[in-house]
Amino acid sequence: MSASATGGPDLPQERRLVTEIPGPRSRALHERRMTAVAKGVGSVLPVYVDKAGGGVVVDVDENSLIDLASGIAVTSVGNSAPEVVRRVTDQVAAFTHTCFMVAPYEGYVEVCEALAELTPGDHAKKSALFNSGAEAVENAVKIARAHTGRDAVVVFDHAYHGRTNLTMAMTAKNMPYKHGFGPFAGEVYRAPVSYPFREPTPISGAQAAARAIEVIDKQVGADNVACVVIEPVLGEGGFVVPAPGFLGALADWCREHGVVFVADEIQTGMCRTGAWFACEHEGVVPDLVTVAKGVAGGLPLAAVVGRAEMMDAPHAGGLGGTYGGNPVACAAALAAIETMEEEDLAGRAREIGVILTDRLGRLAEKYDEVGEVRGRGAMIAMELVTDPDTKEPAAALTSAVNQGCHERGLVTLTCGTYGNVFRFLPPLSISDDLLHEGLDVLEESFTAAVG
Ligand SMILES: Cc1ncc(COP(=O)(O)O)c(C=O)c1O
């Protein structure tokens, strides 16, 4: 199949449909996939990618789609961003792997130094690098247990933390993440989160935190809790922004009881929400932060960053892995971080957030089915309902709009426990024009699906 040309920001920044979606080459690849790739691995889009960059994804039939997903919040600096390509190319030519646990190298140390600077709080910090978000979450739990000598892990309703055995236990939603894959790791306890749109009666962040703490106190006991793990804006659970004060009250409770407060910033971190990390919006300083996705411009890298004394709790040799902090992924991360700094991508995420909120807000004025528009920065969603009073989730409508968007040349995603949240995670390299065009197409798909 094609793999014909270079991607990156020099690709024509346009939506261009030259075949039906999916086109013949994508359909042929799909046939091959059906015999070679396990069914359990799904794909949202029916097209196969040839190249991508800026704000577009070009498929093997030469259709150019507007990217409103960035590979689930990963290519924040854009696909094949020039500095990422340059540093990765240099690193590949120098050496591809020695294993940091065998023969260390500077790139790993540099990434840890950068993350210590960028994460919230000015205390002494250390980091350990891994390959995936789930692996970072697993290691945050290991570190918290080693530091506290306690077992229990507290997570929340609507949480998503990954697909490994422990992180499946930590993830809330059964289908498709957990169904049939148990038994799951023990000592994981779930508390109610703050989900303002779905509270039967409005409560403040402090009240929602008190409600969660009551559950933890009664069902687990503070003295047994190693860590509380929370996404500052819930990702897969529906881009839920907890009521103001919720995160802070939980963090205070953790501090009071010697519990490690872990912010899972795998989706929210690295400029996505208009700040380096989403905890900053609430002035919350976590003990440990998990980082992945946007950190390395599309290469697999993850990290746990945290208070030096906690990070040093595990014995020497207790953390690591063959590929964790691979030199090529570290080179990509250093390039992505430099690009984010130089191009003020946190500022760009805020600008994108204004456009998204304004346009989706106008859609909400027109259609009762848009129950709420929410999120932070370039992590914005609309929750769809069949009825604004009952707030019955409109999962079928959400899926119809999504499919309509794909057919019209948009890369879009849904999420939410009830499958009724339409989410936007554009690369921060997208232009205003392309974003507006994408939102025009969304509106067209929405209107067609509502009927
Ligand atoms: C908040 C959060 N935690 C953990 C993960 C798991 O990351 P990965 O898919 O890299 O294992 C994700 C992925 O979507 C996530 O959004």
pTM over 0.85? The answer is: yes
Q: What percent of the chain has pLDDT over 90?
A: 99
CB atoms within 10 A of CB 391: 16
Probe target for ligand 1 pocket from 138, 170, 266, 415, with the most ligand atoms within 8 Å of CB: 266
Residue 188 CA to ligand 1 center (angstroms) comes to 17
CB atoms within 10 A of CB 23: 19
CB atoms within 10 A of CB 320: 17
Q: What is the mean pLDDT of residues 171-194?
A: 98
Residue 415 CA to ligand 1 center (angstroms) comes to 13
C-beta 166 within 6 A of ligand 1? no
C-beta 133 within 6 A of ligand 1? yes
C-beta 161 within 6 A of ligand 1? yes
Residue 171 CA to ligand 1 center (angstroms) comes to 10
Ranges of beta strands (E only) in 252-356 are 260-264, 288-291, 302-307
C-beta 150 within 6 A of ligand 1? no
How high is the pLDDT of residue 4? 55
CA-nearest residue, atom 16 of ligand 1: 267
Residue 413 CA to ligand 1 center (angstroms) comes to 15
Relative to beta strand 64-67, strand 56-59 is antiparallel
Structure tokens at 359: 């346009």
Query: Which atom of ligand 1 lies at the shortest distance from residue 134's CA?
Result: 11
421-424 β-sheet, strand order: 370-376, 379-384, 421-424, 413-415
Query: Which atom of ligand 1 lies at the shortest distance from residue 292's CA?
Result: 10
C-beta 402 within 6 A of ligand 1? no
C-beta 230 within 6 A of ligand 1? no
How do residues 329-352 score in pLDDT, each as one tens digit?
999 999 999 999 999 999 999 999
Cα separation, 30 vs 34, whole angstroms: 6
Bond from prior residue into 176 cis (ω within 30 degrees of 0): yes
C-beta 372 within 6 A of ligand 1? no
Of 212, 208, 210, the residue nearest 196 (C-alpha): 208
Q: What is the mean pLDDT of residues 139-157?
A: 98
How do residues 375-409 score in pLDDT, each as one tens digit?
999 999 999 999 999 999 999 999 999 999 999 99
Judge whether residue 3 has pLDDT over 70: no
How high is the pLDDT of residue 2? 46
Q: Provide the CB-side half-sphere exposure for 210 (13 A, CA).
A: 5
Residue 293 CA to ligand 1 center (angstroms) comes to 8
Residue 29 CA to ligand 1 center (angstroms) comes to 27
Residue 21 CA to ligand 1 center (angstroms) comes to 29
Judge whether residue 200 has pLDDT over 90: yes
How do residues 208-242 score in pLDDT, each as one tens digit?
999 999 999 999 999 999 999 999 999 999 999 99
Q: How deeply is 164 buried, as exposed, middle or buried, from its count of CB atoms within 10 A (0-12, 13-18, 19+)?
A: middle
Probe target for ligand 1 pocket from 44, 70, 161, with the most ligand atoms within 8 Å of CB: 161
Q: Which residues contact 284 (CB under 8 A, 6 or more apart)?
A: 120, 232, 247, 248, 251, 263
What rounded mean pLDDT belongs to the chain? 97
C-beta 162 within 6 A of ligand 1? yes
Residue 272 CA to ligand 1 center (angstroms) comes to 14
How do residues 414-433 score in pLDDT, each as one tens digit?
999 999 999 999 999 999 99
Q: What is the mean pLDDT of residues 22-26?
A: 98
Structure tokens at 59: 């498929």
Of 115, 156, 119, the residue nearest 285 (C-alpha): 119
CA-nearest residue, atom 3 of ligand 1: 161
Q: What is the mean pLDDT of residues 258-278?
A: 98
How high is the pLDDT of residue 1? 43
Residue 133 CA to ligand 1 center (angstroms) comes to 5
Judge whether residue 38 has pLDDT over 60: yes
How high is the pLDDT of residue 451? 82
How do residues 97-145 score in pLDDT, each as one tens digit?
999 999 999 999 999 999 999 999 999 999 999 999 999 999 999 999 9
- Dihedral pair phi/psi, residue 120, rounded to 5°: -60, 145
C-beta 300 within 6 A of ligand 1? no
